[in-house]
Structure 1
């Protein structure tokens, strides 16, 4: 009996360890040497400038997209050209960001600046026209419009990235693995904005202890997303930490704040905070 309990405990522990991305892989010697060299040359002024200036482009873009005056919704689809023009600009920036991210994750497949501009304009134009057509056929303004145009947007970027990098991965078939990895990571990144709103919808539809219990789904979403990225990147251990942090952790932090705002009781708020603290504590234990 004791042997069975011990065996079951080891199986549970092994399953838990296999789900913890902190235990999967390690930094390469080259990456650590680059970090040491960077730290040796890093001055306090540069650290300050990086911390201050890094968020500015996002803040400026967020403010600028609110500057153009919009027509009232009653004007309909054809009277809200400014709205769709603004959406097109935002989609262009989103496409540029996605392509730069893919190029950083797979340097050998990095696109040129001209290629990035062409693909971004193409993806934004196709997605914007898709949204205009959908609004004309259904309702304006379209609820969750940017999420709805997500699939065609991702499809255009994926096809263009695969086609443009085709000559390189056909010459070196091993590079096709890099193409697949970057597309899977981007797929995870674009799936989470669908998953979390659905979770929030379920959360706000519950009350009392049902809502408190439903908080336990949050870490499950996070673990699934982390392992999705970790397994997609395979043995590319240098890319795993930054992809997990900037894709999974950032989305989780953004939507956890939304969950806190929609909590119906202090018990639900306390449960969200406790779950977040426990996840942080477990991650620290995994690292140490």
Structure 2
């Protein structure tokens, strides 16, 4: 029984991505320099200002007046304007992700803006055509429009970079690595919306059981991302947090809002609390390990001082 428990603990530990990451020496030195040289005022200003662009985009999208969906496509043209705006922002962010991740390949910011405009316009046109042909609102529009969106972005990237990739040594492998990260992000769009749809069709008791799949999906996707971005060891935490964690938190809130059962809502809250406790426990293990390493370094330094008579 004890051996089985130990194997279970080892399996759980191997699935916790936060226990297996590492930072480069350069990243640690930069963090130390930032902590030493940056004022509290500047750090507070960064924390305060960083979310503002996201807030502005969200407000701009939500202030657009929308008609009753039952009135059909003709009365809901503003919906497609809103969709164009949101898709433009997502497309620009996606292209910029490639620009930042591949600094050796030039991609002017104005061309990223231009490509985002026409790609989002075509995607909004595709959604408009589907809505006129099959009905409004078009079901699972995100999942249906995502493949043409991915195709159009791929075409724009190929137009910009095909020749440059051939001329730049090592660029091909870097592009493949960034594409793998992007595909993981796209996969999230095909996992959570169907999960949410199935969740809303279940009875109260079935919802309570089905909610247990959320932490399983989250844990699985965290490991998928971690194994996909092994080349980005320094950036791995933010890649996982701003993709898997945000997506999971969003759909947990959706499920809580649309579940009439008190017990399902309580279960979702307890699952989140449990995951937080486990994460804090993992952080404590890391802290103890770092403390032990620090003590061993100090002991070795004292040993050198005693043996050779010099100080560090």
Residue number in structure 1 paired with 2:108: 112
State how far apart, in whole Å, the 2-side matches of 1:219 and 1:173 are: 41
State how far apart, in whole Å, the 1-side matches of 2:74 and 2:228 are: 43
State how far apart, in whole Å, the 2-side matches of 1:86 and 1:209 are: 37
Residue number in structure 1 paired with 2:42: 46
Given that 2:119 and 2:153 are in contact with CA atoms closer than 8 Å, whether structure 1 keeps it comes out as yes
State how far apart, in whole Å, the 2-side matches of 1:19 and 1:84 are: 42
Residue number in structure 2 paired with 1:137: 133
Give the ranges of 4+ consecutive aligned residues of structure 1 lying more than 6 Å apart after TM superposition: none
Whether 2:238 is the aligned partner of 1:242: answer yes
Residue number in structure 2 paired with 1:202: 198
Q: Whose relative contact order is higher, 1 or 2, with alpha carbons under 8 Å and at least 6 apart? A: 1
| Root mean square deviation of aligned Cα | 2.7
Whether 2:232 is the aligned partner of 1:227: answer no
TM-score (norm 1): 0.85
Q: How far is 1:76 from its partner?
A: 4.7
Count of matched residue pairs: 284
Q: How far is 1:241 from its partner?
A: 0.6
Whether 2:264 is the aligned partner of 1:275: answer no
Given that 2:204 and 2:264 are in contact with CA atoms closer than 8 Å, whether structure 1 keeps it comes out as yes
Residue number in structure 2 paired with 1:257: 253
Residue number in structure 2 paired with 1:164: 160
Q: How far is 1:122 from its partner?
A: 2.8
Residue number in structure 1 paired with 2:118: 122
Residues 241, 110 of structure 1: alpha-carbon distance in 2 compared, 3 angstrom cutoff: farther
Residues 223, 72 of structure 1: alpha-carbon distance in 2 compared, 3 angstrom cutoff: closer
Whether 2:31 is the aligned partner of 1:27: answer no
Which residue of 206, 214, 232 maps to 2:210? Answer: 214
Which residue of 53, 58, 62 maps to 1:62? Answer: 58
Q: For 2:104, what is the secondary structure of its paired residue?
A: helix
Residue number in structure 1 paired with 2:88: 92
Unpaired runs of at least 5, structure 2: 287-312
